[in-house]
Chain A
């Protein structure tokens, strides 16, 4: 029985104020984080875990990534803890658990709030709202268009290369009656003929927002043995959060999934080319392209050639997003990322019916958030 579950080595506190004036919560988080980390005698780079509270209004989504970017951190574990007055204590236990689980070594747990007399004229006060939106850059389409254009410029990849990804997703969706594009295939020509939304991005290279929901249940390996369904094991995992705004991305052509996948492969003792299923997050075609390259399935810039060399259907040599991916299935908001987990479990259990892949022992699942900013990779294995 292990006793110690982690230790608290640094503290920070801001002097309370009845009212703040023209200060954001992010600014206050930076001040108090600095106090705690320097109190511990640590360098900022020592922080590889980040637990933050929700910031209703100011930073509506992607809170850990926004704070990580603001602080110049690139954690391998990042989370919101949303437990009201129990959040602080809840963070400490979760930090210890994350450390014990090998997700990270040193966790910054930080909470702060401003208190302005007059409500701000825009509830959203994160840096993107201040430094991107006024220049005409609102929404994810522009960010991924910028990533795609950068890939084309650096590697000479073509619109046709990217269209292969959308066409493959639509093709796989034809075997998933639940997919939003079931009965609506689109070949490469149709993808290229769809309107440009933000160059070089075509409409069919962008997920369709839908309503939906996804859930999974996780338990111990021991308990799993007594349950009725074939067990799917988590063999390895990795995570990395590097930025929030596309302008702050360390690279436009390689993302944090590279390090997350490397960690997941190392932890599971597997290689990318051993995977029986690639269940890759596909909000946009560029995301799949970069993930194929970051996984090491091909050299940087060579995803187009790789796609032409492989068959991505359930019968093919490299089944990829057999449920149609989100490009074919639709994106039920945050649940969209979970579709890749659910499909992988279905395949590894042998429950995928007419789209069941042949050998189904190992699956790579990737998740991606914000602007190729937040990355989690899982290697799942059949029992």
Chain B
């Protein structure tokens, strides 16, 4: 993948006051998710009430940034034309160590992705903003 992801004119997030802490953290290279103080469960994506017990006592906590690849797809024909220069690229479903699953951009690793791969948060500038992308753990250790 030689394309400059940050130069893409891709659609950014539609942020509200409620979701702002998630994107503020993302801009700082962090992943923050909500946790319910009543039932103790993590919540992703952000909501005004806990989807498990409907409590409003939700607090933001930084996630470990560790995850596992539940599934992935190498996109050859993107659904949005702004992504065409980046194709083929990989998106995946990331089971966060905390529990919830999020969809994310998966950076290339030393080998093609496999379901079950260990992943690490890899903040990446895409379309003019830093997004919480992920990369395979092997790549992460190589870079250290």
Contacts and interface: CB of A to CB of B under 8 A. Distances in A.
Interface of A: 21-24, 27, 30-31, 34, 37-38, 44, 69-72, 120-122, 124-125, 127, 129-139, 141-142, 145-147, 149-150, 153-154, 195-201, 245-248, 252
B71 A153 contact: yes
Contacts of B50: 72
Nearest to A147: B71
A146 B126 contact: no
Interface residues of B, number: 50
A142 B79 contact: yes
A141 B79 contact: yes
B81 to A, nearest CB: 9
A132 B48 contact: no
Nearest to B106: A135
A135 B105 contact: yes
A145 B103 contact: no
A247 B116 contact: no
Contacts of A200: 73
Given A27-B47, A198-B75, 6 more contacts: A72-B52, A136-B105, A138-B79, A141-B77, A145-B73, A245-B103
Contacts of B16: 22-24, 27, 125
Main secondary structure of the interface of B (DSSP, over half): loop
A138 B78 contact: yes
Nearest to B81: A138
Given A136-B91, A142-B79, A146-B73, A247 B14 contact: no
Closest 6 A/B residue pairs (Cβ): A72-B51, A139-B79, A138-B79, A153-B115, A145-B73, A150-B71
Contacts of A127: 45
A199 B73 contact: yes
Contacts of A37: 54
B60 interface: no
27 contacts: A23-B16, A27-B48, A30-B48, A37-B54, A44-B53, A70-B51, A122-B14, A127-B45, A130-B45, A131-B45, A131-B103, A134-B12, A136-B75, A136-B78, A136-B105, A139-B80, A142-B79, A146-B73, A146-B92, A149-B115, A153-B116, A197-B76, A198-B73, A198-B77, A201-B73, A246-B103, A248-B101
Nearest to A124: B14
Given A134-B127, A137-B103, A71 B51 contact: yes
B104 A135 contact: yes
B110 interface: no
Interface of B: 10-19, 45, 47-54, 56, 70-80, 83, 86, 89, 91-93, 101-105, 114-116, 126-127, 129, 131, 133
Main secondary structure of the interface of A (DSSP, over half): helix
B112 to A, nearest CB: 10
A196 B76 contact: yes
A43 B119 CA distance: 36
B77 A247 contact: no
Contacts of B114: 153
B49 A30 contact: yes
Contacts of A135: 91, 103-105, 126, 131, 133
A252 B70 contact: yes
Contact of B74 (A71, A121, A154, A199): A199
A51 B18 CA distance: 25
A121 B75 CA distance: 26
Nearest to B17: A22
A200 to B, nearest CB: 8
Nearest to A121: B14
Contacts of A154: 115
A247 B93 contact: yes
Contacts of B14: 120-122, 124-125, 129-130
Contacts of B89: 136
Nearest to B124: A135
A371 to B, nearest CB: 11
A283 to B, nearest CB: 15
A34 B77 CA distance: 41
Nearest to A24: B16
Contacts of B17: 21-23
A120 B12 CA distance: 13
